[in-house]
Structure 1
Amino acid sequence: MRVLHTESSTGWGGQENRTLNELITMRQRGHELAVLSRPGARILERAKEAGFETFAVDMRGAIDFPAIFRLRGVIQRFRADIVNTHSSRDTQLAGMAARSIVGRRPRIVRTRHLALPITSKFTYSVLPDHVVTVSKFVENYLVEAGVPRAKITTVSTGVDFARYDRSTVAGDLRAELGLPADALLIGTVAILRAKKGHAEILDAVPTVLQRFPDAHFVFAGDGAQTANLTARIAADGLGGRVHLLGLRRDVTNILASLDVFVLPTHQEALGTAFIEAGAMGLPAVASAVDGVPEVIQDGRTGLLVPVKDGAAIAEALCKLLADPVYRRGMGANAAEFVRRKFSREAMAEGMERLYLQLLEAR
């Protein structure tokens, strides 16, 4: 099959990471894939580095006729069998471009990565031939919003577990930060966006430090909240205890350095970050919200807390930090669980099966 992925977002986050993993694994299964996004998009850079053909088309709005014309040209030139869209703008534009092709047009699949309310039922029920969701939570939400369940398939996000082997990862973040080798390290890897819950982690920090004076926190990622978090850390006098690492490419190194992973997100369709942390054998403190309980088994692979509750986050972190045996056992459970359920091979198999069904129906 020839599959063209489109993405109008220019940043890098969980959905772009999933798309790249799907590209790589589908190529291993013998298919031809390419990526189309806006100029300067990070997914174009990463896809090109991985050896995929890329196309840059400026998508200035949901109704952009020059973009539709150029998108149709790329779809035809690439000879796409499947056009898989990932955000609202590219779904609308690429969907209209693909549907304007006379004759043997490609099948259109929209992947829904988010747990947010949808803004246009048209881009789920009419434009795409099928919708993929990353969790059962998102599938059930779309059904409630009026999208026929027969038109939806859940294919959980998968990651490359070959990268998550502690014996092959340095885990040298303590040395980089100049911290003692036995310092307790709690961290998160996520875009710095308000809904990821970094502010609530900061609410929990004083309580954790009171009980564990040698603990340190690290935030890996960048985003709109960078300035606010920097100011908050300084105002609270936590500059030597909370370290903003910025956007990092060595995520496995960061995870291998941690004792506990924490991400008290306010909304989350599934949570690739939790899968990656679990693969590295880390217990997680997470919010009991949306699709997160599909990844975190409360009391077995991590601890779930109420949304926006700094005190509950602090209590959960202290419970894990206080008992190394309990903490490591939970991390081992997390590794076994995610490797069984969230491999990228399983994701690719699910997507391949759906693509073939759509092409056979055509």
Structure 2
Amino acid sequence: MKILYTESSPNIGGQELQALAQMAAMQRAGHSVMLACRENSRIAAEAVRQQTAVTYIPFRNSLHFSSVWRLRRLVLAFRPDMVVCHSGHDSNTVALTRATLTGGAGRFSIVRQKTYLTRKMKVFSLNHFCDAVAVPGQAMKEALQAAGCTNTIRVVSPGFDFDAIREAMSMPLPEHVREWLEARAPHPVIVQIGMLRPEKGLEFMLKTLFHLKREGGQFHWLIVGGGRPEEERLLRRKIHALGM
């Protein structure tokens, strides 16, 4: 089977890591796999490292005609049986691309993977722009159905490469993190992992820890994640403003 994965995010987080693990597993199972993503994105570098074929699509928004044109050329050349999408931008772009194709080239299935839910769930594209929705758990399936998703929803439990996790555990900390810890008193370290985006709860955590510190709590807060430079600058300003 020929499987095309799409990813519009320039950064890397849980859903991108899940896609990388799935692509590697599909390749080991003998399928032909390709990733369509933004040039210079974090997932592109990781896909190349694991020897997954990569092609570059801008994915600037859901109605970016240059992306539709490039994706159309890719589909005509690769002829995927299935396209697995991870966000609204790339899912909508794939649906528009399929609408421009005739004959066998446009008969591929579109699977939309949802790895998290937002407060305001929009289900129009899930109902009309894909053939099935894949979620990691039953609770997410039920939440989407309650929000009005009438499309086929399948639970696909995420896989974990425990050997890779064990190997990573034995590796030394990055030098800048080690130096940061060694320069501070030996208090407990609270580690928060997540991309630097408002919905990840970093500001909520900052306010919570600020009150905990004001009550006498002694700890260090280590944020592990990346994101847009402007989001990082904003978070740093808030941290400094609270004396954290």
TM-score (norm 1): 0.58
Letter of the structure 1 residue corresponding to residue 31 of structure 2:
H
Range that drifts further, 82-91 or 42-51: 42-51
1:115 equivalent in structure 2: 117
Dislocated runs of 4+, deviation >4 Å: 179-182, 208-212
Gaps of 5+ in 2: none
2:240 to 230, 234, 243: 234
2:223 equivalent in structure 1: 219
Aligned pairs (5 A) from 1:36-51: 36-51=36-51
Give 1:176 deviation, angstroms.
Answer: 2.7
Aligned pairs (5 A) from 1:252-331: none
1:24 equivalent in structure 2: 24
Q: 1:51 to 1:199 in 2, by over 3 A?
A: same
1:145 equivalent in structure 2: 147
* CA distance in structure 1 between the partners assigned to 2:17 and 2:117 by the alignment: 17
Letter of the structure 2 residue corresponding to residue 73 of structure 1:
R
Gaps of 5+ in 1: 239-362
2:138 to 136, 139, 144: 136
SS of residue matched to 1:61: coil
1:73 equivalent in structure 2: 73
2:127 equivalent in structure 1: 125
* CA distance in structure 2 between the partners assigned to 1:204 and 1:126 by the alignment: 41
* CA distance in structure 2 between the partners assigned to 1:32 and 1:42 by the alignment: 22
Post-superposition CA distance 1:275-318 (Å, at most 9, x none): xxxxxxxxxxxxxxxxxxxxxxxxxxxxxxxxxxxxxxxxxxxx
1:244 equivalent in structure 2: none
Q: 1:167 to 1:37 in 2, by over 3 A?
A: closer
* CA distance in structure 2 between the partners assigned to 1:60 and 1:170 by the alignment: 37
* CA distance in structure 1 between the partners assigned to 2:168 and 2:71 by the alignment: 45
Residues 98 and 108 of structure 1 are in contact (CA less than 8 Å); yes or no, is this contact kept in structure 2?
no
Residues 6 and 86 of structure 2 are in contact (CA less than 8 Å); yes or no, is this contact kept in structure 1?
yes
SS of residue matched to 1:103: helix
Q: 1:55 to 1:167 in 2, by over 3 A?
A: closer
2:108 equivalent in structure 1: 106
Q: 1:167 to 1:181 in 2, by over 3 A?
A: farther
1:158 equivalent in structure 2: 159
1:188 equivalent in structure 2: 192
1:203 to 182, 193, 207: 207
Give 1:62 deviation, angstroms.
Answer: 2.2
* CA distance in structure 2 between the partners assigned to 1:209 and 1:171 by the alignment: 33
Q: 1:58 to 1:101 in 2, by over 3 A?
A: farther
Give 1:171 deviation, angstroms.
Answer: 4.9
Give 1:181 deviation, angstroms.
Answer: 9.0
TM-score (norm 2): 0.83
RMSD: 2.6
Residues 175 and 181 of structure 1 are in contact (CA less than 8 Å); yes or no, is this contact kept in structure 2?
no
Q: 1:108 to 1:7 in 2, by over 3 A?
A: same
SS of residue matched to 1:109: strand
Q: 1:196 to 1:210 in 2, by over 3 A?
A: same
* CA distance in structure 1 between the partners assigned to 2:70 and 2:241 by the alignment: 50
Letter of the structure 2 residue corresponding to residue 112 of structure 1:
K
Give 1:80 deviation, angstroms.
Answer: 1.1
Residues 123 and 147 of structure 2 are in contact (CA less than 8 Å); yes or no, is this contact kept in structure 1?
no
Residues 6 and 37 of structure 2 are in contact (CA less than 8 Å); yes or no, is this contact kept in structure 1?
yes
Residues 123 and 149 of structure 2 are in contact (CA less than 8 Å); yes or no, is this contact kept in structure 1?
no
SS of residue matched to 2:111: strand
Give 1:10 deviation, angstroms.
Answer: 2.0
Residues 3 and 84 of structure 1 are in contact (CA less than 8 Å); yes or no, is this contact kept in structure 2?
yes
2:179 equivalent in structure 1: 176
SS of residue matched to 2:104: coil
Give 1:211 deviation, angstroms.
Answer: 4.9
